[in-house]
Amino acid sequence: MNKPSLLAMLLLTGISCTGAFAQAQDARQDAVARSFYSDRRAMAPGDALTVLITEFSTVQASAQTTTRKNESASISFLQPDGVSHALNGNFDSDFEGGGRIERSGRLVAKLAVTVLSVDERGNLLVQGEQDIQVNDERQRISIRGFVRPEDISPDNTIPSWRVGGAHIEFTGKGLLARKQAPGIITRILSWFWQ
């Protein structure tokens, strides 16, 4: 066998071994991702992921204002007949006001989201929404944010407090939502006295 044909044969063998090695690597990564004991984790655009939304918020604010002002003035003048007259005056101003705001909210839900893209650091941009309609009441939950792949649990779920830049929306339409909104006269009056 001459040298050029031997060199060509060795080169072809090396290329085929490299291709087989790459296929074995891909198969091994798929086997790890698709483990028999756990679900496949979201890693690429189009993959699904479940976000466990558990959000609690409490806001409390109070303000108290008290102002007091006391001024006094005294004037005395002497008349030409030698009689002295004095004028005294006091000016008082008092103001006291206060206000308190207290509000709390709780949202617990499970929402399936889809991976939209993967950034240069490997973080996943996820987005999902869910519409629920029961007895003419429509509720919509949506979430959008970034997820680190290492924060995804083996069962392909992630808590909402692990979603970076999370934008969570919960809205409702229907009889209950209409009853909770202020009436038209209240809205007009509040527009004048904001």
What is the per-residue pLDDT across 96-147, written as a single tens digit (0 to 9) for each? 777 787 777 787 889 999 999 999 999 999 999 999 888 878 889 999 999 9
pLDDT at 12 over 90: no
Burial class for 113, CB neighbours closer than 10 Å (0-12, 13-18, 19+)? buried
Rounded (to 5) percent helix, strand, coil in the chain = 25, 50, 20
Any residues with CB less than 8 A from the CB of 14 and at least 6 apart, and which?
Answer: none
Of residues 77 and 146, the one with the higher pLDDT is: 146
- Residue 20: its pLDDT value, please? 47
* pLDDT at residue 134, as a whole number: 81
Q: Rounded mean pLDDT of 86-98?
A: 75
Q: Is 31 left (phi over 0), alpha (psi -120 to 50) or beta?
A: alpha
Tokens 């909210």 map to which residue? 105
- What is the pLDDT, as a whole number, of residue 147? 94
- pLDDT confidence tier of residue 74, bands split at 50, 70 and 90: confident
**Per-range mean pLDDT, top range of 22-26, 58-62, 77-81:** 58-62
| pLDDT average, residue stretch 52-62 | 81
Q: Which residue has the higher pLDDT, 168 or 85?
A: 168
* CA-based torsion, 174, 180, 184, 188: positive or negative: negative
Please give the Cα distance from 42 to 166 (Å, whole number): 18
DSSP state of 77: E
Beta-ladder partners of 54: 108
80 vs 45, more confident: 45
Above 50 in pLDDT, residue 4? yes
46: burial class by Cβ within 10 Å (0-12, 13-18, 19+)?
exposed
E strand segments, 17-47: none
Mean pLDDT, the chain, whole residue set: 76
What pLDDT was estimated at residue 159?
93
